[in-house]
Amino acid sequence: MTRILLKNKLDDCIAAWQKAGYSVLAPVQRHDMSSFDEVQKGSDMALDLILTERTIKDQFFPQTEPLIKYNISKKEIASETMTPPDKKRVFFGVRPCDASGLAIDDPLFGWDYKDDYWFKRRENSVIISIACTEADDFCMCTSVKLSPDSTKGADVMLRPLANGNGWQVDAVSDRGTALLESVSSLLEESSDEAAPVPQVAEKFDVEKVMEWLGDKENFESQFWKDISMRCIGCGSCTFLCPTCHCFDIQDEGDTYQGIRRKNWDSCSFALFTMHTSGHNPRNAQSTRWRQRIMHKFNYYRGKFGVNSCSGCGRCTRQCPVDMGITETLQAITNLPR
């Protein structure tokens, strides 16, 4: 027997969590764009999507965020630190690749400096993942050693029932256990079977990729120029990636007052590494594409012991020139050794 949540009890769950002070966010489809946003009832959710177009990362690492408000007068400089709202949140219906992306980024945001903006949101959030029952040609979670029902980054894992009436419910963390306790009267015991997860074929050999990238002889390989010819440097792959995390900090205002703001940036942009002198160490798109692949499958693993990719496939799915990292990693896999 397994605990289950029936779909006809979902609205009661949402109401119970809201009463306990949580905002409930879930996949929604609005204005031709799918993303995570606050919902009031189950019918607001777009749970049939294979994957939202925007990632859950947006809710933890916003595209733009104020850090400090400052005011400079003749005799003093006043500043006010701006912090995220102290709001408890439940994220319902997160796909395993997106939940994994949060766990992959945790060590980065706590590395040489603890990013309180990231961790305050992480500590105030409970992640309820739903195992996939469908995949498309762009999904590649198995290629990076994850799976359609991976629990990495999740606090609660739901597995859709084969009869379509609800989900099997399993707590993955203490935070998830506590959240389920608050709705325990709405859960039932059942022997209903879960729907099977989809078979996601491995699209490249990640071990071969890491081996080739780790060979310094390949850093200046002609391969990088050939494989990146189509890349237009738009940066959409980085903005839609659940693990990409580059940002810069700018002051917006005038001499006397303004706001210091953190904004997303992208290693695909030509100005990303431009020095004040005018020198740019990555002055060609091929060097920027090399950096993107090296960072995800060589440098990040060397620093944190994990690849900076959860296999969601958005970079390929949404690429305006039909590129993405899958093609590059497949090409590396097939290079003669």
Structure tokens at 322: 């039909």
- Longest CA span, the chain: 73
pLDDT tens, the chain, 337 aa long? 899 999 999 999 999 999 999 999 999 999 889 999 999 999 999 999 999 999 999 999 999 999 999 999 988 999 999 988 889 999 999 999 999 999 999 999 999 889 999 999 999 999 999 999 999 999 999 999 999 999 999 999 999 999 999 999 999 999 999 999 999 999 999 999 999 999 999 999 999 999 999 999 999 999 999 999 999 999 999 999 999 999 999 999 988 999 999 999 999 999 999 999 999 999 999 999 999 999 999 999 999 999 999 999 999 999 999 988 999 999 999 998 8
Separation of alpha carbons 101 and 90, rounded Å? 17
Place of tokens 């994850």: 146
Torsion region of 95: left, alpha or beta (phi above 0 gives left; psi -120 to 50 gives alpha):
beta
| pTM of this structure | 0.94
